[in-house]
């Protein structure tokens, strides 16, 4: 019998460390632009001041204001995992703070994403953390909750094992099977932007990258 609201599923395959290392060198806009600009979370704030988030989702769905199943998830964390917690966007009680995060990082956790609130916010200065808000009020520990199920985070469905990449521009998420192709496309995108920067540096008033967009829309790209 499936106990909905109390499922404890095994973790998805661990992320390839080489893939995560490659993604740390790619900015999120280049990933987003090659994901049709339609994915990624909205409404979350980045609380770390340094560092890049890159890891695979260990998901938790919990009752708003309750972190019992986050405690259980802590015991399942592997190096390269990201704790991705769907707390219903509730900001009344913090779901995770300094002690739990320190333990998760000790176990190799790559970061924390919470559609809900965190506390002890200064402790996240060097630990990748995205959350909907902050409150000093602590959580309850009575459940229910589920681990390694699809969750909703800032308008994005995140499945167990999905790859998350976060920086100062935001947070994107995609299936691990798409990572290799996306890395190639994002690097190509970065090279194209470097070519545009080089053209801008010439100081020419007429720029091919502007003309191309305007001409495609039926507008005259010539500089007056």
Residue 99 inside a domain? The answer is yes
Quick one: 85 and 24 in the same domain? yes
Residue 12 inside a domain? The answer is no
Quick one: 191 and 128 in the same domain? no
Quick one: DSSP state of residue 203?
T
Other Cβ atoms closer than 10 A to 171: 27
Quick one: 44 and 105 in the same domain? yes
At 37-67, the pLDDT tens digits run 888 899 999 999 999 999 999 999 999 999 9
Q: Look at residue 14 and tell me whether its pLDDT is greater than 70.
A: yes
Quick one: 100 and 192 in the same domain? no
Residue 10 inside a domain? The answer is no
At 62-93, the pLDDT tens digits run 999 999 999 999 999 999 999 999 999 999 99
For residue 166, the domain's CATH number is 3.50.30.40
Range of the domain at 124: 17-175
Q: How many domains does the chain have?
A: 2
Nearest to 15 by CA among 223, 130, 183: 183
pTM of the model: 0.93
């Amino acid at each position: 019998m499936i106990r909905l609201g109390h499922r404890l599923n095994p973790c998805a395959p661990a992320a390839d460390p080489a893939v995560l290392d490659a993604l740390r060198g790619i900015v999120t806009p280049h990933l987003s632009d090659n994901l049709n600009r339609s994915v990624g979370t909205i409404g979350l704030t980045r609380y770390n001041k340094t560092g890049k988030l890159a890891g695979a989702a260990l998901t938790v769905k919990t009752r708003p204001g309750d972190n019992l199943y986050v405690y259980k998830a802590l015991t399942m964390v592997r190096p390269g995992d990201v704790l991705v917690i769907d707390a219903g966007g509730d900001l009344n009680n913090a779901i995770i703070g300094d002690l739990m995060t320190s333990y998760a990082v000790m176990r190799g956790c790559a970061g924390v994403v919470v559609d809900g609130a965190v506390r002890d916010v200064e402790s996240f200065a060097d630990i990748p953390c995205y959350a909907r808000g902050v409150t000093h009020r602590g959580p309850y520990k009575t459940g229910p909750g589920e681990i390694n199920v699809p969750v909703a985070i800032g308008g994005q469905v995140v499945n167990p094992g999905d790859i998350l990449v976060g920086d100062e521009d935001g947070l994107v998420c995609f299936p691990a099977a798409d990572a290799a192709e996306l890395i190639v496309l994002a690097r190509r995108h970065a090279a194209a932007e470097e070519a545009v920067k080089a053209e801008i540096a010439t100081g020419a008033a007429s720029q091919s990258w502007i003309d191309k967009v305007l001409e495609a829309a039926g507008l005259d790209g010539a500089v007056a």
